[in-house]
Amino acid sequence: MAVVSSSKIAIIGAGISGLAAAKQLAKYKPVVFEATDSIGGVWQHASFRSTKLQTPRCDYEFSDFPWPDRDNSSFPSHTEIIEYLHAYATHFDVLKFVRFNSKVVELRFVGDREGGGCGGDYGQLLAGHPAWEVAVQTGHDPEAVQRYMFEFVVICIGKYGDIPKMPTFPVNKGPEVFKGKVMHTLDYCKLSEEETSELFEGKRVAIVGYKKSAIDLAVECAEANQGEDGKPCTMVIRTLHWTVPHYSVWGLPFYLFYSTRSSQFIHERPDQGLFRAFTCLLLSPMKRAISKMIESYLTWKLPLEKYGLKPDHPFHEDYASCQMAILPENFFSEADQGRIKFKKASKWWFYENGIEFDDNTKLEADVVICATGYDGKKKLEAILPQPFRNFLDYSVSNLQAAELRCIWLARLVEGRFKLPSVEKMLGLIAMEVEVMKRTTRFYKRQCISTYSINHNDMLCEEMGWTSWRKKNLLLEAIIPYTSQDYVDK
Ligand SMILES: Cc1cc2nc3c(=O)[nH]c(=O)nc-3n(C[C@H](O)[C@H](O)[C@H](O)COP(=O)(O)OP(=O)(O)OC[C@H]3O[C@@H](n4cnc5c(N)ncnc54)[C@H](O)[C@@H]3O)c2cc1C
Ligand SMILES: NC(=O)c1ccc[n+]([C@@H]2O[C@H](COP(=O)([O-])OP(=O)(O)OC[C@H]3O[C@@H](n4cnc5c(N)ncnc54)[C@H](OP(=O)(O)O)[C@@H]3O)[C@@H](O)[C@H]2O)c1
């Protein structure tokens, strides 16, 4: 039997998005269901000891809660981020809404499909009667499931963490034939410092992947394998991507290339008309020139050619799909010492003593760690009913976008504006996919990076806010947007 909750709104997840949603919807006293025993999401459960924010703190802060030391240009560690999130949750008194160890295992739509929460010609989103049944498992007992009824549900379960994306293999080529240890980075995150040293010291380690988790892990592995008995750690690379040592290029701040209104002008965006599409086409040589300039800097600055790590695709394709990783300081110095090695292979599988590749070579290993990312789609599929599962492509989000979306959502719930028709929204999503396909071969990894200001403009306009929020045109052109620009004025 489902219980009608005294609260109208449920929020699922207490990472940055869930906390921002709870703060914006606080007047409805939402119930926040959090599967784990803590807030912070990936910063708590999918971080290594060395994990830091990839940007300075002023690019990852809530609009109404600046970091205490926001001008400190060092990248905060994941523990500092957790502290910051705790301070935010405490300051705005939202922890009281969170029910920890409460995992949502099923959502059922029980509302009126015509007038319900699907957009279109609906009345109020909070219609005065329940529309969603939320099944919640408390603790570890799968039998201990309680069902609650809510009028509105906000899903903030994140795209990363929780469910590892593990490679699959034909029979007799998977981990079952390997004598050593196989794990995913998510398992690695749970280890203590002592356990990680034990895992690495004197072991031949293979790390599958060449993105941020893999790169950070390779450095942790190399650092644990110093000295005479130290063994190299080998990165197994399927696709090369551009990596970046810091946020300046030939002495110019990186934000000038992709994060200002003028720099984003040359990139396609979903809601563009024919004229803009034509302008973008005309300006595409400029887009390529900027990308080439960054590529030439990176090739000069980093030993990419020496190690065969120079990607064939343009830098801007990695940027447009949020695949750019910031290198830890000593990555290439560890490689120079022979403690990090690289093996490029499009296909690989296990054998008794390690990994075999499609070029008929083998790599002996004691430990194989899959830094192969996460399956965010599976996380959503696990709880969403049809037809909602059909709309499952969703973009990576940073704190600024997550917060602005929550501000937008709170106003939508208040009935201050209405959603466009379902057809119009689906049309916009289709356009977004088309733009991504034209922009980057990695379009499946949807990301708003090259049109983030336009994305925020659209949210502002729907809320009735001014979208150009800087003091003058010069600032609009050359200064990037931060959360502070979206303080409700
Ligand atoms: C290691 C790592 C580092 C990152 N670094 C950066 C960075 O430097 N800059 C940047 O902009 N972005 C970074 N990201 C992206 C990051 O995912 C976002 O910035 C942001 O933290 C996502 O927050 P979220 O609240 O949307 O999701 P999450 O942090 O994933 O939080 C989701 C929450 O929902 C809970 N949950 C999930 N399923 C359920 C369920 N069924 N029932 C109840 N609760 C549930 C989870 O336990 C979790 O607490 C990083 C991601 C990772 C994995
Ligand atoms: N702030 C930080 O310091 C930090 C730290 C870690 C992670 N993150 C963020 O967390 C998110 C997830 O990052 P992630 O690095 O864990 O995952 P990811 O970005 O999804 O990268 C997965 C890697 O594994 C490779 N891979 C996947 N399946 C493979 C297979 N079967 N065989 C060989 N290679 C395979 C991928 O190669 P292909 O490219 O060929 O697919 C890619 O190199 C990203 O947004 C990242 O920026 C941030």
Spatial CB neighbours of 387, under 8 Å, sequence gap ≥ 6: none
* Separation CA 233–CA 221 (nearest Å): 7
Total domain count, the chain: 2
* Separation CA 449–CA 409 (nearest Å): 21
- The whole model's pTM is what? 0.95
* Separation CA 166–CA 375 (nearest Å): 9
Residue-number span of the structural domain to which 191 is assigned: 175-245+302-370
Expressed in angstroms and rounded, the spacing between residue 163 Cα and the centre of ligand 1 is 12
Q: Per the structure block, which two tokens stand in for 338? A: 């022979």
Closest ligand relative to 380 C-alpha: 1
* Separation CA 330–CA 335 (nearest Å): 9
Looking at the structure, tell me whether residues 198 and 96 fall in a common domain.
no
Looking at the structure, tell me whether residues 121 and 241 fall in a common domain.
no
Torsion over CA: 365, 369, 372, 377 (sign): positive
Asked if 271 contacts 459 with a C-beta cutoff of 8 angstroms, the reply is: no
Looking at the structure, tell me whether residues 153 and 228 fall in a common domain.
no
Pairing type for strands 3-4 and 145-150 reads parallel
Helices (H), 251-310: 255-258, 261-264, 274-301
Looking at the structure, tell me whether residues 361 and 380 fall in a common domain.
no
Expressed in angstroms and rounded, the spacing between residue 486 Cα and the centre of ligand 1 is 22
Helix, coil or strand: residue 234:
strand
Quick check: CB of 164 below 6 Å from ligand 1? no
* Separation CA 367–CA 88 (nearest Å): 40
Looking at the structure, tell me whether residues 129 and 53 fall in a common domain.
yes
Asked if 362 contacts 349 with a C-beta cutoff of 8 angstroms, the reply is: no
* Separation CA 225–CA 233 (nearest Å): 8
Quick check: CB of 483 below 6 Å from ligand 1? no
Give the model's pLDDT for residue 489.
67
Quick check: CB of 243 below 6 Å from ligand 1? no
Looking at the structure, tell me whether residues 93 and 200 fall in a common domain.
no
Looking at the structure, tell me whether residues 133 and 69 fall in a common domain.
yes
Quick check: CB of 52 below 6 Å from ligand 2? yes
Looking at the structure, tell me whether residues 11 and 67 fall in a common domain.
yes
Q: Is residue 297 part of a domain?
A: no
* Separation CA 195–CA 189 (nearest Å): 11
Q: Per the structure block, which two tokens stand in for 275? A: 């004229």
Quick check: CB of 158 below 6 Å from ligand 1? yes
Look at residues 59, 110, 171 and name the one whose alpha carbon lies nearest to residue 398. Answer: 59
Which residue's CA is minimally distant from atom 12 of ligand 2?
Answer: 373
Looking at the structure, tell me whether residues 128 and 191 fall in a common domain.
no
* Separation CA 180–CA 353 (nearest Å): 7
Q: Is residue 280 part of a domain?
A: no
Quick check: CB of 398 below 6 Å from ligand 1? yes
Q: Is residue 463 part of a domain?
A: no
Give the model's pLDDT for residue 117.
46
Expressed in angstroms and rounded, the spacing between residue 386 Cα and the centre of ligand 1 is 24
Distance of CA 259 to the CA centre of its chain: 18
* Separation CA 277–CA 337 (nearest Å): 49
Q: Is residue 410 part of a domain?
A: yes
Q: Residue 115 burial by CB count (10 A; 0-12/13-18/19+): exposed, middle or buried?
A: middle
Give the model's pLDDT for residue 114.
58
Give a three-class secondary structure readout of 169-223.
CCCCCCHHHCCCEEEEHHHHHCCCHHHHHHHHCCCCEEEECCCHHHHHHHHHHHH
Quick check: CB of 239 below 6 Å from ligand 2? yes
Quick check: CB of 116 below 6 Å from ligand 1? no
Looking at the structure, tell me whether residues 323 and 394 fall in a common domain.
no
What CATH code is carried by the domain that includes residue 78? Answer: 3.50.50.60
Looking at the structure, tell me whether residues 96 and 211 fall in a common domain.
no
DSSP string covering 370-430, please? E---B-HHHHHHTTPPTTGGGG-------HHHHHHHHHHHHHHHTTSS----HHHHHHHHH
Listed in order, strand segments (DSSP E) in 281-375 are: 325-326, 340-344, 348-351, 354-357, 362-364, 367-370
Quick check: CB of 21 below 6 Å from ligand 1? no
Asked if 339 contacts 348 with a C-beta cutoff of 8 angstroms, the reply is: no
Asked if 10 contacts 33 with a C-beta cutoff of 8 angstroms, the reply is: yes
Expressed in angstroms and rounded, the spacing between residue 348 Cα and the centre of ligand 1 is 30
Closest ligand relative to 211 C-alpha: 2
Quick check: CB of 339 below 6 Å from ligand 1? no
Q: Is residue 286 part of a domain?
A: no
DSSP state of 260: S
Closest ligand relative to 10 C-alpha: 1
**How far, CA to CA in Å, does 88 sit from each of 30, 55, 61?**
17, 19, 10
Q: Is residue 401 part of a domain?
A: yes
Quick check: CB of 160 below 6 Å from ligand 2? yes
Q: Is residue 64 part of a domain?
A: yes
- Reduced to 3 DSSP states, what percent helix, strand and coil does the chain have, rounded to the nearest 5? 35, 15, 45
**Residues in the chain, how many?**
489
Asked if 322 contacts 373 with a C-beta cutoff of 8 angstroms, the reply is: no
DSSP string covering 128-175, please? SS--EEEEEEETT-TT-EEEEEESEEEE---SSSSSB------TTSSG
Spatial CB neighbours of 393, under 8 Å, sequence gap ≥ 6: 429, 433, 446
Closest ligand relative to 242 C-alpha: 2
Expressed in angstroms and rounded, the spacing between residue 158 Cα and the centre of ligand 1 is 5
Looking at the structure, tell me whether residues 308 and 337 fall in a common domain.
yes
Instruction: State yes or no: cis peptide before 387, omega within 30 of 0.
Output: yes
Helix, coil or strand: residue 357:
strand
Give, for all 489 residues of the chain, the pLDDT tens digit: 778 777 999 999 999 999 999 999 999 999 999 999 999 999 999 999 999 999 889 889 999 999 999 888 889 999 999 999 999 999 999 999 999 999 999 999 998 765 544 445 667 889 889 999 999 999 777 788 999 999 999 999 999 999 999 999 999 999 999 999 999 999 999 999 999 999 998 899 999 999 999 999 999 999 998 878 889 999 999 999 999 999 999 999 999 999 999 999 999 888 888 888 889 899 999 999 999 999 999 999 999 999 999 999 999 999 999 998 999 999 999 999 999 999 999 999 999 999 999 999 999 999 999 999 999 989 999 999 888 877 776 666 789 999 999 999 999 999 999 988 888 888 888 888 888 899 999 988 878 889 999 999 999 999 999 999 999 999 999 999 999 999 876
Distance of CA 290 to the CA centre of its chain: 25
**How far, CA to CA in Å, does 227 sit from each of 50, 156, 199, 361, 402?**
21, 45, 16, 27, 45
